[in-house]
Structure 1
Amino acid sequence: MSDFVSSGWSLFVAGLTIVGLLLCLVLLIIASRRQVMAEDNTTGHVWDGDLRELNNPLPRWWMGLFVITVVFAGLYLALYPGLGSATGTLKWSSVDQLQKEQDKAREALAKVYAQFNDQPVEALAANPQAMGIGERLFVNNCAGCHGSDGRGSKGFPNLADGDWLGGDGGLDYIAKTIAEGRQGMMPPMAAAVGTPEDVKNVANYVLSLSGSAHNNIAAQLGKAKFGACAACHGADGKGLQAMGAPNLTDKVWLHGWGEDAIIAMVNGGKTNVMPPHASRLTAEQIRVLAAYVWSLSHKGPKTASADLVTTRQ
């Protein structure tokens, strides 16, 4: 790939462009030196007995436009980048132009967001303008994973239930998560648990913690082996928020529910990543977006069914 970014390609493109313009001029010169090919001003070719092609010169207006086009191209290439890596005398670039437009947009947006800077999250959540902006930010940046209503799907947390891992779900925590992203990881634990039969027993014990359907005998056998999991999820299985370890007693599962899903998690572990958005959004935008996300779980009581597969951030 290094061959495609060497200076040789720049020279090749510049040379090809200049040769193209010169060939246009040569074509004009050749066309202007018309020679009479026959006494009747035809090319000498005859079709269908009497159809002849005239040898008329190019119209002056067409020649003039062609000359203007070539001159314009030469001036443009002198002023703007076009000859390989040459920047042009005006030093203009699309990157600089984009940066100026973005800076101008940020200045305009700063005036809009300034009114929200000192408002607490409750006030922002009650502000229709702030929530309208937050909703548009959410749809453009978050809905692809968490859904347009914020309720997520398998593998993507539900932001509307108020159940958060790694933090208290307050404005500062949500804003930090949006800006810096978050990575949740459960390591493979099969070796620590024991045999495949032990893993199956632990899976049934985990199901029993939430009162889900399970094999009672297997669950009793798996209780002792659950000690390998208790370091993160706690002896009672209610998890440790500071470590980001989920509560296993709430019947709501982010990555799938049932014996097979739990066995797969114990055997293979899981890594879930939310990408950071600090490079895409300003601090003011992140704060308004965080307030909108906070509002999703503060709009009155929520109902949850046992088959809901997502709950946590």
Structure 2
Amino acid sequence: MSNGWSWYVIALVVLNLAGCVWLLWWTGKRRPGDPAPEDTSHYWDGDLTEYNKPMPRWWLGLFYLSIVFSVGYLVYYPGLGNWVGSSGWTSPREHNVDKAQNDTRIAATFAPYAQVSLPELARDPAALRLGQAIFANQCAACHGADARGARGFPDLTDAIWHWGGKPEDVLASVADGRQAMMPALASALGGEQGIAETIAYVQSLSGQKVDAALAAAGAPRFAVCAACHGADGKGNALLGAPDLSDTYWLYGGDTASIRETLEKGRSGQMPAHAQALGAARARVVAAWVYSRSQPQAQP
């Protein structure tokens, strides 16, 4: 805050306090010619009378005490422009102290799980409760509260893992994140006809009913896709390239959805959570995610 704005705030605060003192003094005194407290001639229902009595002294005293308290408060805490207050209190320092205390409690809670393997954690009811709570706060916005995902967000409860479903793969996804990239391939596939043929061939890999001639024409065009998805279309977990021969489609397996994928490409990002969660919490939530696709691992 500049000095000009600081003095403006100080003047505003002082004027308001002085105005409150003056208002209490001015309205609390009686002047010559004022009607007597019982002489107002305002009556209702015959016997209800409005009086003009001044406020009790103790009540006025409380008002004055509140003003004295506010002055002391403004001296002790930073409330007058750039004045830092006699206590030296700051909200960032208060935040840092609270955060340090909470971090200590969190570290103590998750310390027992820091060196435990994910399969073991996946059989620990206490660890799974903690993992589910973390998932609800950090992951459910994309993958859903039940971890079943949505269009463009993987279902974490099945056995299909584009980046690998081993415990270390799941932990790497949570801690380090993933960046998938499917480039637009319209020109590489030969335009509209090439796209239609490739769509038919890709759909045939997953057992969908397609035009056999169109799919056969698309087979050689699939060589463009085989660099990532493999010659047999079964994908590559190292690249996050999905298996095109199963029935699971992250963005949809209908003709329109596949066409959109080929023409515009896809870019899916799983953010890294290692820094936000820390190693122990990332491990616990990864164990919960791993347990969703491993029913035999659940307690």
| TM-score scaled by length of structure 2 | 0.88
Match of 2:72 in 1: 75
| Pair 129,52 (structure 1): closer, same or farther in 2 beyond 3 Å | closer
Distance 2:211 2:5 in 1: 69
Q: CA RMSD, aligned part only?
A: 2.7
Q: Aligned match of 1:41 in 20, 36, 40?
A: 36
Distance 2:8 2:178 in 1: 47
Equivalent in the alignment of 1:290: 286
Q: What's 2:190 paired with?
A: 194
Contact 1:46-1:52 at 8 Å conserved across structures: yes
* Alignment of 1:12 onto 2:8: yes
Give the distance between the partners of 1:230 and 1:71, measured in 2 at CA: 79
Q: Is the 8 A contact 1:77 1:83 kept in 2?
A: yes
**Does the CA contact (< 8 Å) of 2:201 and 2:215 recur in 1?**
yes
Q: Greater shift after overlay, 141-150 or 192-201?
A: 141-150
1:184 alignment partner in structure 2: 180
Q: Deviations over 1:125-175 (max 9, x none)?
A: 111111121121112222222123322121111112233233x33333323
Identity of aligned residues (%): 38
Moved more, 286-295 or 112-121: 112-121
Q: Distance in 1 between matches of 2:65 and 2:191?
A: 83
Residue 22 of structure 1: CA displacement?
Answer: 1.3
> Offset of 1:12 from its aligned partner?
3.5
- Secondary structure, counterpart of 2:195 in structure 1: helix
Cα distance, 1:52 vs structure 2: 8.5
| 2:205 maps to amino acid | L
AA matched with 2:204: S
SS of alignment partner, residue 193 of structure 1 = coil
Q: CA deviation at 1:252?
A: 0.7
Equivalent of 1:94 in 91, 94, 99: 91
Name 1:143's counterpart in structure 2. 140
The aligned runs of 1:193-272 (5 Å cut-off) are 193-272=189-268
Q: Which residue of structure 1 lines up, in the alignment, with residue 103 of structure 2?
A: 106
Contact 1:202/1:222 (<8 A) preserved: yes
CA shift for structure 1 position 279 = 4.2
Counterpart code for 1:156: F
CA 267–285 in structure 1, closer or farther in 2 if over 3 Å, else same: same
Q: 2:152 aligns with which of 146, 152, 155?
A: 155
Task: Specify which of 109, 124, 148 is matched with residue 127 of structure 1.
Answer: 124
Q: Is the 8 A contact 2:148 2:155 kept in 1?
A: yes
**1:198 to 1:137, Cα distance in 2 relative to 1, 3 A:** same
Gaps of 5+ in 1: 302-313
* Contact 1:44–1:52, Cα closer than 8 Å, also in 2: no
Corresponding residue of 1:66: 63
Quote the Cα distance in structure 2 between the aligned partners of 1:104 and 1:162.
40
